[in-house]
Chains A and B, each alone.
Chain A
Amino acid sequence: MHKASLLRDVIVGIIVVIAAVLLNMAIGTPMLRDLALRLCSLGLFAVSLNLLVGYTGLLSFGQATFYGAGAYMFTLLMQKSGLGIPSAFGLTLIGVSLLAVVVGTICVRLTGVYFTFLTLAIQMMFYSMLIAWSSFTGGEQGLTGGLPKPPFLGIDLTNPTHFYIFSVSVFVVSLVILRRIVASPFGASLRMIRDNADRALFLGVPVQRYKLFAFVVSSLFATVAGILTSLFVSGAFPNFAYWLTSGDGLFMIMLGGASNFFGPVLGAIVLIVLDNLINVHIKHHGLVLGVVILFVVLGMRKGILDYLAEIFASYSERSATRRSQP
């Protein structure tokens, strides 16, 4: 039976990629591609973060560490080692995952606000290191100087159309994998940990180990998002690992809805739209973002998709009751 769900997800994924390709063929403007590419990395970052926040109940304020580390490691490998893109991609995933194992092991020992705080502190340390180690990381300027993109398997990432399809595909594949994980028994155990870690422990769930798994998986896909971004901007910059980037992630989740798998993607769309609107009309990004968060936190109390899901649920319940009445 689970083969059927995997099949369904893969088919939906393929349809999405094809739709994206068609869209590009219809409206092939650089702006469309830019928006789509930003959605791919931000959306993936937000969905990966939600594995921790929404599904496991671990409020991490430091996933930008891995997003940034992914961007930096990939850029450095491409600039300095002469490796092809697939190899650099793979090595970056492995390297940053190892970092995630170390960081995760330290952090999951703590709970609640202490956990949040430690993830934040580690991120700031990583950021501080990026700035300090300027001989290696370019310091405050970051890794400028471009990112070589040698062709591989017939794909040439210097070609905008190729890059577009590549990013969308990576995004879709990542989402399919994450969706499978979330729907699996492991995903259920994460939700058990979120709802009642004590009882989960009593039911034999290895809570600490599973938290660590979730942490590493989340960081893995944050890394992928970071790689996509570095390809997009042809470099890596310290603000990737700044705490405000983690904040953006939480914003996307909050706005789009933490209990829905696609909520964070919707949140990403809103963030990108807001960003574009603000940069064009108003200079003060923080102000607008802050006010929107206030509105969501105090007014809606949950994300858009959560809200809609609730409305839909109560509507269908009401119509079911109506139907069952003579």
Chain B
Amino acid sequence: MTARLQLVKLHKRFGGVVATDNVSLDFAPSTLSAIIGPNGAGKTTLFNLITGRLKPSSGQVLLDGKDLVGLEPGAITRLGIGRAFQVASLFKTFSVRDSLAAAVLSRQRALGDMVGNFPGSMATDHVDRILHLTGLAHLAQRGSTELSHGDQKLLDIALALALEPKVLLLDEPTAGMGRNEARAMLERIHQVSQREKLTVIFIEHDMELVFGLAQSVRVLRYGAVLAEGTPAEIRAHPAVIAAYLGSEA
């Protein structure tokens, strides 16, 4: 089966520091993968390389065979890479509905329209769909900043979903949440990814949550891939256990 997303010998150095060390990974379509690793292992850097925020020193990022390296972040987004952020990155003066409408209109390349009305009726169907998908429908009229922490993170994900991505990168989706809230979030992510047939890659610190949800786990350390496999395999992997004993249980 061809991979949806392929990282081929991805390498990034900043001066003398190697942030990403020859990383080669495949991500199959419609799968949920987790990327874990101690702090500073280069997980967020990897996301930045995939989304075009950072340019790799060498290597390729292939989406359905097409190399994304060198493209502008906007173009990469259009090709199908969506991203949610560790700290929800929202439009503070927009309501939930308007934020999503803006994203959808951007997808439809209609944001340059100087004559129509915003949000108007153009994007309503798509917006409604995403609101229901992410469980935010009852908050549609609220301002982005009025939402609870967890709902803001949901909105952050919803914004990425609005662009109809093929691959969804989630940077610590449960950060700052209690156990129950985190579980609910991951359940929702699971539902969404199944319904939308997405390839979801998420960075996570909480091992319990990872093992309950991910189909495959990749462990990063010092910017390089330490191990990859199913959650069960990783749990028993001696190198992984050794790496984690030093930092966190």
Contact = CB atoms under 8 A, between A and B. Distances in A.
The answer to whether any beta carbons of A and B sit under 8 Å apart in the complex is: yes
Interface stretch (B110-118, B182-190, B204-212, B229-237): B110-118
Contact of B115 (A180, A188, A206, A210): A180
A154 to B, nearest CB: 30
Contacts of B119: 188
A204 B116 contact: no
B247 interface: no
Contact of B113 (A186, A192, A205): A186
Interface in A181-207: 181, 183-189, 191-192, 194-196, 198-206
B180 interface: no
Contacts of A184: 113-118
Contacts of A259: 93
Nearest to A187: B118
B222 interface: no
Interface centre among A198, A205, A210, by most B CB within 10 Å?
A: A205
A196 B114 contact: no
Q: How large is the interface on A (under 10, 10 to 19, 20 to 34, 35 or more residues)?
A: 20 to 34
Interface string B53-78: 00000000000000000000110011
Interface stretch (B5-13, B97-105, B127-135): B97-105
Q: Is the interface of A mostly helix, strand, loop or mixed?
A: helix
Interface stretch (B28-36, B37-45, B84-92): B84-92
Given A1-B121, A192-B102, A196-B89, A206 B114 contact: no
A205 B74 contact: yes
Interface residues of B, number: 34
B94 A2 contact: no
Given A204-B163, A206-B74, A185 B118 contact: yes
A313 to B, nearest CB: 11
Contacts of B51: 202
B159 A203 contact: yes
B166 interface: no
Contacts of B118: 183-185, 187-188
A134 interface: no
A202 B83 CA distance: 8
A276 interface: no
Interface in A42-63: none
A161 to B, nearest CB: 34
Given A185-B110, A202-B83, A195 B116 contact: no
A203 to B, nearest CB: 5
11 contacts: A183-B118, A184-B118, A186-B111, A186-B113, A188-B98, A188-B102, A188-B118, A196-B89, A199-B90, A203-B103, A210-B112
A-B complex: 9 closest residue pairs judged by Cβ atoms: A195-B91, A188-B118, A2-B117, A189-B111, A185-B113, A186-B114, A2-B116, A199-B89, A204-B74
Interface of B: 51, 73-74, 77-78, 83, 89-94, 98, 101-103, 105-107, 109-121, 159, 163
Interface of A: 1-2, 5-6, 180-181, 183-189, 191-192, 194-196, 198-206, 210, 259
